[in-house]
Amino acid sequence: MLRFDQDQRKIINAAKELQRDARKAATRARPKSPKADRGRERDTGYLAFLRRQPCVCGCGRPAPSDAAHIRMGNLSLGKLPTGMQVKPSDRFAVPLNRDCHTTQHSMSEARFWSERGLDPFTIAATLFSAYQRGG
């Protein structure tokens, strides 16, 4: 069995740390797979903006809200339905309080919105436009 003194262990540990750093740098430098985002547009600023808005479903609850992504499709807007590892873009999100967000996911999303007489795509477009103007 090999035994190393303290100075040798320091050298070995420094070499291992250099190897770890080189592996991490190689991983970061590797190009992302085209499947990584699957065309999803991300905007963390917009999601933060939504969380500061009141719930839009008509319940009247104030902020904070969840940023609820609209998963159903609307082909006239070029919005395909999502699922099967495809996430909706952040611009297709609206503020819902936690209870309403849970309800939205527990039933047909189209039914959730039609029962309230609301068009989530119009709401999302209006909010996204307000956000871009500095809302």
The predicted model scores a pTM of 0.66
Provide the 3-class DSSP secondary structure of residue 95: strand
Average pLDDT over residues 5-27: 91
Give residue 37's pLDDT band: very low, low, confident or very high (50, 70, 90): low
57-63, Cβ contacts within 8 angstroms, sequence gap of 24 or more: 57/96, 57/97, 57/100, 57/104, 57/116, 57/118, 58/116, 58/118, 59/97, 59/99, 59/100, 61/97, 61/100, 63/95
pLDDT tens figures, 54-113: 999 989 899 899 999 998 877 777 676 776 666 788 989 999 999 999 999 899 999 999
Percentage of the chain surpassing pLDDT 70?
86
Please choose, from the candidates 51, 77, 58, the residue with its C-alpha nearest in 3D space to the C-alpha of residue 69: 51
